[in-house]
Structure 1
């Protein structure tokens, strides 16, 4: 690598010095004498097991429950939005500048790497100034004329929110099934389009999860139906084109409300699978895709604390399972003998490697694993029994199989990214071992990855466990504790937070921020035990790990309490609420996005969407031990009279995962009890849900709000 000339070093030093002086000089002053909303208190006892637990703000769920205080709820949320607008009023221009800055890095007119399947190349493209995508294909060769399958920009006109998903082409390439959600509750209506005539059939299937599976007769479609109240996926139904949808046959009905269900097709195209899965157990059913009227057969009856996932390859089924295997193992079984006693081990359980999944090809098997917190991919050649690993060469990264729908292919499409490497798509020849970069996310404006540094560090938890921390910052950082640092975390459901690139994040890094990810327990970065040590009656490990990571970064002089910020969303919002209660002195500011903060009350109410699916994650508070433990960390229940850090909370009125009233109640209680003069802001998107705005640019307004909040706390004002 070439060294910078002395004048360049001097220039970077001068810019860094000048920015620090600006940050010292220009302090954003929150408007004084502005009174925040005060929510009315209507005490309700929501305790059990002899515990009196008074919730003064329980009435805020009335909009969701269609109760008598529905209008009052909306008025309160609007008042909070007005207060946020006033408090952030002096940053309006700055937010607009941040939005334009981030938007300017996006290549507006762009096209995805084409994916070949069953004779066609499929791809998406975007047009300048447009929020959505156009789904297209070309027959046989990329030089063929383009067929536009869906113009989502046109379809979304007139909608505040629009999501199209579950695209599914029939085996004869003539029909497209797709789902549409216009409310952001993740309830999709499925439509079927004739790709030869352009006709949208009258077969509109409502209340679905959006996905579907075609039988090989090109007229039978299997889909998942949702309960409109609980949003649980309860039934798999079968629709025959042109028939009365109200008479669609139920082919599977899930009676255990702890389970999610779905339907899909093997890559080979030979089988249709129904998967029913809870947090700790699962069950599969299957039929031949050539026999849509056959009865689904149980692959292996569900077993306590056993997860298994099935795919088809040649004359066998492959099973990834944790049956007698903490970190999962790979097994096989004949097509005619699918129950557990017939399973034969291919890859054993390993204490230091988590087997995450497989990608099946006719002559190859790609095994996705996680070792030392990092993803790796093993290629197995089934014709000569050779196997090898791909080399990625960075200390912190994310790599995973991409779109590989063609069963007979010898090429692996995989995606790669790191904290400094933009999202990249590679094609890898599994026979010659040659790889080709097909596309890398273009960051407009002259991004130079050599100007940023990424590291993989390890914090020590209070019980001695080493917690991985991925970190990125602009080159030239002086580690004297003066830099602002944003620490991100999640730590639930076994979801691992990998080190990925974000062009938006450059707006923080270029202004002197350090960005770090705490790979805390409750995720699965370090194996299955990592997850199990951060759930149920060990959930507090998640929170203390995050706190220990924050203290580690301070001790390593990356930042200080006066400049340390934390961010998490959904279950990561629970993390934010918990660390605020446990160590409010450690953070200068916190962003809690769509936060799950009223754990006990929500888990006691089975009418709230998805509650019953969560018992294996958090516990069932109808059991006293679980109730007591959950109450001991639930952010809402543990708000107290003390000083709290500055706080920005975001939510969506139509959120299907964490209902709006949890963050709203939390903010109201914090306002009532906190003893400091720090700011608390609640921003409710009145037309969106858990994922925020649906357009590819509109969501940047939410990011600009978050970044403006952080930068204001660091002294940034318009012009910085």
Structure 2
């Protein structure tokens, strides 16, 4: 059989000069997607990727079939009460998208969710929005807002049918089923109702896709929307929401390191917004509203002199008159606080895992905190659907790598915990057939790096292994169950998560020591974890593959340059592999608002040269690399398709080995990839088949799919 020939991108030199450094970029011409030659090149790359992986089609089909067979396709979520209705989501076999529904509350005093049967007609069921109907005629569909007015009579919903994350906001009368003529184009995903049931707040973005302006729209008034707040500082984004108490609308302005919150009366459609605490560079805070002893109070979580944050309370009319509720701790990162009529829920992070505490509101103060704990070492826990201010029950979700998501109701009077649902996994899945555990690697500077490891209980080591990482924006890669991942585990593959610096698993300092001029810690941590997996006998380099997306794709590109001999294959999803070019262009989405994360190479020579030292694209070298698959989307507005396209072209031109380098571009999708659950399962199957094959280097490209070590 003739080997497919990869496309060769032409080289057109583009000169870049900053801080005395000259870089000649031969592939920058690929940025212009209006150029038919660019589209033709991307399509040629897709064809080459399809030809190069054609022998994996039987394996892809088997993995897709396994995901489908394990998934309860016709299903129904646990109902959540809000006002006089129980809200829930349905899915139907054969349909790509969900259906949002509700049914009436029969007994106002009964807070136990009704037990609904997905196969039986539900009396009085009302379909709020059928995403399948909305998606008809579109190659891509994403539902943004699906927000019900406080009186339950109007649905505000937004849709994106391109993938560029610019939504069209529409309104539906839920009493008559009719659409309002109001339609607002080019908005952000969300919508927030004022409590007058006619006023809606939403956000628009600027030319660089930065959410920068909050608007107030009066439904069915025929009036133009009113601009409520515009954030002029290009480093800041804005968001709008309503407090759980329904008392206030909040507008949050924030950069990566600084916050400012405004509030206004949610019942007043003409309310003026007041700043809670003026912004100060480097100080972050969030605000929740509570009523304690009949008094309105703000609960403020901030990092002023408290790197891992502290929780204070203050009167609403004087937010500076603060009293500490939870002091700063070096070993605990406070993440958030949610207020209810009779209690608070404090979310925090300890030992690299998310946890929650329940605080009763007792008269004029607070009662003793109660830990909401679970029995697994790697169990993640958090709130799950609690829209009501005065519910007698608290809805909690928990899960782990081997425990499907469990939804509980906690009775706030008796403390009784009721399991409402465990995510169904069809077939013969048993959690005791799998092992999840925590391990630690040592970085070059002596720092201990946590690793989460999952595998079947009956496998032998060394085994094929997949290591995943992200490491940016203080994002945490917490334990979560995945039906699709079982197709890897059941083929004898180990799944490991490297909780590298730049994430937030170990507190704020963990994040700060993996950003700006310490960013390379993220990359060397990942290499240290990979080396640890090899040194401890869990796997071998010829059977070790790596996966990361977006900022995790930058991680993939960096480790490919740093330690290419440690991996058999690397899969980079929507990878940020040309960061310096992007961060040098203030007109792009990932630039001005990102300077607090990466630094400003325009004004700072040290930042420029530091970023150039780790930029994957600019450091491709004449050496051997592992097999590489880069996946991207043409309409991605966060990480442009051009970054992986340039990277792949440079790798092919420069590297010295014969391992395949593939580029797969979704031509009708955005940053989150293609839409529709079956299409996403197919994409996951595509990726997993490639990873499995790459982890068995002897058979990659041989066509002997049934002989794959990991498919026996």
Map Cα deviations across residues 551-591 of structure 1 (whole Å, 9 max, x no partner): 11111100011111110000000000000001111101010
141-150 or 622-631, larger mean C-alpha shift: 141-150
The answer to whether 1:94 aligns with 2:59 is yes
Aligned equivalent of 2:215: 237
* Whole-angstrom CA distance in 2 between matches of 1:458 and 1:695: 37
After TM superposition, the score normalised by the length of structure 1 is: 0.93
User: Structure 1 residue 165: deviation in Å?
Assistant: 2.2
Partners of 1:597 and 1:606 in 2: CA distance: 17
SS in structure 2 opposite 1:192? strand
Task: Judge which range, 316-325 or 486-495, deviates more.
Answer: 316-325
Secondary structure class of the residue paired with 1:168: strand
1:386 aligns with 2:343: no
SS at match of 1:150: strand
Cα deviation code 1:26-52 (max 9, x no counterpart): xxxxx6532110001000112311101
> What residue number does 2:240 align with?
263
Is this contact kept in 2: 1:364–1:410, CA < 8 A?
no
When residues 32 and 674 of structure 1 are mapped into structure 2, their CA distance, relative to the original with a 3 A threshold, is farther
Q: Deviations over 1:582-640 (max 9, x none)?
A: 11111010100000000110001112124211100011111111101100001011001
Q: CA deviation at 1:696?
A: 1.6
| Cα distance in 2 between the residues matched to 1:33 and 1:422 | 43
1:55 corresponds to which residue? 25
Q: What is the DSSP-based 3-state SS (H/G/I as helix, E as strand, rest coil) of the residue aligned with 1:427?
A: strand
**Could you tell me whether the CA contact under 8 Å between 2:408 and 2:419 is conserved in 1?**
yes
Counterparts of 1:319 and 1:471, CA distance in 2: 36
CA contact (8 A) 1:171 1:214 kept: yes
Distance 1:550 1:665 in 2: 27
Give deviations 1:537-560, integer Å, cap 9, x for gaps: 000000000000001111110001
Question: What's the counterpart of residue 94 of structure 2?
Answer: 129
Partner of 1:43 in structure 2?
A: 13
Counterparts of 1:511 and 1:498 in 2: how far apart (Å)?
A: 23
Corresponding position of 1:372: 351
In the TM superposition, 1:265-664 aligns within 5 A as 265-314=242-291, 315-338=296-319, 341-383=320-362, 385-479=367-461, 481=462, 483-622=463-602, 623-664=604-645
Contact 1:518 1:546 in 2 (8 A): yes
Separation of aligned partners in 2, 1:369 and 1:281: 20
C-alpha contact (below 8 Å) 1:564/1:589 kept by paired residues: yes
Matched, 1:703 2:688: no
Contact 2:155–2:172 (CA under 8 A) maintained in structure 1: yes
Aligned length: 679
For residue 695 of structure 1, report the CA deviation from its aligned partner. Answer: 0.8
Name the SS of the counterpart of 2:21 in structure 1.
Answer: coil
Residue 84 of structure 2 is aligned to residue 119 of structure 1: yes
Partner Cα separation in structure 2 for residue 402 and residue 582 of structure 1:
41
- In the alignment, the residues of structure 1 paired with residue 671 and residue 87 of structure 2 have an alpha-carbon distance, to the nearest angstrom, of 29
Q: Please give the secondary structure, in 1, of the residue aligned with 2:188.
A: strand
Shift of 1:244: 4.1
Query: 2:58 aligned with 1:77, yes or no?
Result: no
- CA distance in structure 2 between the aligned counterparts of 1:36 and 1:676, rounded to whole angstroms: 14
- Name the CA distance, whole Å, in 1 between partners of 2:3 and 2:359: 67
1:493-538, Cα deviation, whole Å (9 max, x unpaired):
0001011111101111111100000011000101000000000000
Answer whether contact 1:115 1:403 (CA < 8 A) is retained: yes
Q: Could you say what secondary structure the match of 1:52 adopts?
A: strand
What displacement does 1:268 show? 0.6
Distance 1:564 1:88 in 2: 19
List aligned pairs for 1:162-201, cutoff 5 A. Answer: 162-201=141-180
Rounded to whole Å, the distance in 1 between the matches of 2:271 and 2:492 is 62
Tell me the CA shift for residue 254 of structure 1. 0.6
Q: Distance in 2 between matches of 1:468 and 1:47?
A: 40
Q: CA deviation at 1:430?
A: 2.8
Contact kept in structure 1, 2:590 and 2:639, CA below 8 Å: no
> How much has 1:478 moved relative to structure 2?
2.1
Structure 1 SS opposite 2:190: strand
Secondary structure in 1 matching 2:618: coil
Q: Secondary structure at the match of 1:697?
A: helix
CA contact (8 A) 1:499 1:517 kept: no
Contact 2:583–2:590, Cα closer than 8 Å, also in 1: no
Let me know the Cα RMSD of the aligned residues.
Answer: 1.3
Q: From 643, 666, 672, give the equivalent of 1:691.
A: 672
Question: Corresponding residue for 1:3?
Answer: none
- The secondary structure found in structure 2 opposite 1:389 is strand
CA distance in 1, matches of 2:595, 2:164: 22
SS in 1 for 2:559: helix
User: 1:230, 1:609 within 8 Å by CA — same for their partners in 2?
Assistant: yes
Counterpart-to-counterpart distance in 2, 1:666 and 1:441: 39
* 531-540 or 125-134, which deviates more: 125-134
Q: Secondary structure at the match of 1:46?
A: strand
> Is this contact kept in 1: 2:436–2:455, CA < 8 A?
yes
Partner of 1:140: 105
Name the residue aligned to 2:111. Answer: none
Partners of 1:712 and 1:529 in 2: CA distance:
38
- The whole-number CA distance in structure 2 between the counterparts of 1:649 and 1:529 is 31
Aligned to 1:27: none
Question: C-alpha separation between the residues in 1 aligned to 2:437 and 2:91?
Answer: 34
- Give the conservation status (yes or no) of the 8 Å contact 2:96–2:678: yes
**After superposition, what is the alpha-carbon deviation per residue over 1:68-98, rounded to whole angstroms, capped at 9, x for unaligned?**
xx11110110000000011011122221221
- In structure 1, what is the Cα distance between the partners aligned to 2:622 and 2:20? 25
Give unmatched runs, 5+ long, in structure 1.
1-30
Query: Mean alpha-carbon deviation: is it higher for 89-98 or for 513-522?
Result: 89-98
Deviation at 1:130, TM superposition (A): 0.7
3-state secondary structure, aligned to 1:276: strand
Q: Distance in 1 between matches of 2:189 and 2:56?
A: 39
Counterpart contact for 1:330–1:346, Cα < 8 Å: yes
- The alpha-carbon deviation at position 397 of structure 1 amounts to 2.5
What runs of 5+ residues in structure 2 fail to find an aligned partner? 107-113, 115-121
CA deviation vs aligned residue, 1:109-167 (integer Å, no higher than 9, x gap): 00001001112110011111111111111121347511111111111111111111211
Contact 2:308 2:508 in 1 (8 A): yes
Q: 8 Å contact 1:359–1:401 — kept in the other structure?
A: no
The runs of 4+ residues in structure 1 deviating greater than 4 Å are 716-719
